[in-house]
């Protein structure tokens, strides 16, 4: 089975209390084992979703609240990006929170630590890219919509095998590209999954990921309200989201790769 299938198989049942699909983020609130929890995922959309004649982006919209949360989590398998985002948010709402949240560390600092003097392939353009270029040996940014020094996503088969550290946006769990990207990494390369959509589950370690750099919603009501009002992640962070980094047992340390540039 794939990563998403394994995550769905592992989460407990719960009752969906609220589904909020915002411009940038999707939030699902569920009652799980007597605890109220909230999961986030990026609100990705298919290109034709905005057309009046397009099919429904979320087929059962308006009838999701109150249903079993595992049924909602099944939507993470959907070919519709927005449905898959709802499903991943449900998965993240059902996962047990980490026992030790540790200090807040943003993904930029984790990549800089692991990529110091190394060759880094970053899947997804993040706001910290200009700063990160000064903190690692070499940085290749792969994007479906490249800007500036970004490389097209189609260059992944040439770039990823040359990287000492592969840092992948968790939106690849939504568009179902994560497994293909992981298959390109060379043996010994460290892998980091990052972004608020990241599922904080040891299951991902079983799929070859070394570090999870995600988030936990601490103030559910404020965060859900902000999601519905179009908040970006910086705004959500200030309203009650905590950055959390989990590592596979032992420190993930990329092994040096002396290949030339790509």
Which domains does the chain possess? 3-94 (3.30.390.100), 107-216+240-247 (3.40.50.11590)
Distance CA(196)–CA(85), nearest Å, equals 12
- DSSP-based three-state secondary structure for 115: helix
Angle between helices 3-10 and 81-94 (to 10 degrees): 40
Nearest to 74 by CA among 59, 60, 86, 58: 86
Q: Return the pLDDT at 47.
A: 65
Q: Distance between CA 92 and CA 101 in Å, rounded?
A: 15
Place of tokens 């769905």: 8
pLDDT in the model for residue 55: 63
Predicted confidence (pLDDT) at residue 9 exceeds the cutoff of 90: yes
Q: Hunting for tokens 């970053």 — which residue is that? A: 122
Residue pLDDT, tens place only, 166-199: 999 999 999 999 999 999 999 999 999 999 999 9
Structure tokens at 194: 């990052």
Q: Which residues pair with 20 in a beta bridge?
A: 27
Quote the pLDDT of residue 252.
Answer: 37
DSSP H or E stretch at residue 73: helix 69-73
Asked if residue 258 has pLDDT above 70, the reply is no
Q: In whole angstroms, give the CA distance from residue 86 to residue 7.
A: 14
Residue 161: alpha-carbon gap to chain centroid: 21
Grade residue 163 by pLDDT with cuts at 50, 70 and 90: very high
- Distance in angstroms (rounded) separating the CA atoms of residues 235 and 150: 26
Amino acid 261: pLDDT: 34
What's the whole-model pTM score?
Answer: 0.90
CA 250, chain centre distance (Å): 22
User: Residue 255's pLDDT is what?
Assistant: 37
Q: Residue 216 in contact with residue 242, Cβ under 8 Å?
A: yes
pLDDT number for residue 101: 86
Is residue 54 very low, low, confident or very high in pLDDT (cuts 50, 70, 90)? low
Segment holding 8, helix H or strand E: helix 3-10
Of 102-106, 141-145, 252-256, the poorest mean pLDDT is in 252-256
Q: What's the start-to-end Cα distance of the chain, in Å?
A: 33
Q: Are 93 and 14 in contact (CB under 8 A)?
A: yes
Nearest to 28 by CA among 94, 98, 93, 97: 93
- Residue 45: its pLDDT value, please? 85
Report the half-sphere exposure of 78 (CA within 13 A, side-chain side): 23
The chain-wide mean pLDDT, for the chain, equals: 90
């Amino acid at each position: 089975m794939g990563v998403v299938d394994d995550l769905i198989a592992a989460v407990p049942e719960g009752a969906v209390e609220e589904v909020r699909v915002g411009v940038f983020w999707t939030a699902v609130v569920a009652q799980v084992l007597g605890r109220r929890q909230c999961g986030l995922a990026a609100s990705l959309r298919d290109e034709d979703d905005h057309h009046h004649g397009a099919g429904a982006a979320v087929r059962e919209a308006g009838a999701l609240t109150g249903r079993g949360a595992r049924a909602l989590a099944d939507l993470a398998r959907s070919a519709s990006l927005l449905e898959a985002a709802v499903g991943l948010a449900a998965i993240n709402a059902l996962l047990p929170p980490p026992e030790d949240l540790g200090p807040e560390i943003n993904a930029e600092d984790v990549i800089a630590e692991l990529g110091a003097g190394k060759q880094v392939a970053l899947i997804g353009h993040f706001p910290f890219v200009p700063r990160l270029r000064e903190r690692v040996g070499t940085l290749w940014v792969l994007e479906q919509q490249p800007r500036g020094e970004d490389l097209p996503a189609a260059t992944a088969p040439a770039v990823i095998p040359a990287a000492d550290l592969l840092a992948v946006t968790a939106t690849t769990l939504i568009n179902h590209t994560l497994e293909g990207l992981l298959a390109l990494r060379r043996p010994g390369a460290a892998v980091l999954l990052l972004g608020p959509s990241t599922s904080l589950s040891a299951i991902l370690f079983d799929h070859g990921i070394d570090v999870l750099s995600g988030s936990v919603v601490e103030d559910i009501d404020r965060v859900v309200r902000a999601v519905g009002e179009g908040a970006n992640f910086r705004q959500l962070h200030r309203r009650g989201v905590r950055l959390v980094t989990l590592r596979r047992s032992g420190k993930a340390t990329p092994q040096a790769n002396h290949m030339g540039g790509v």
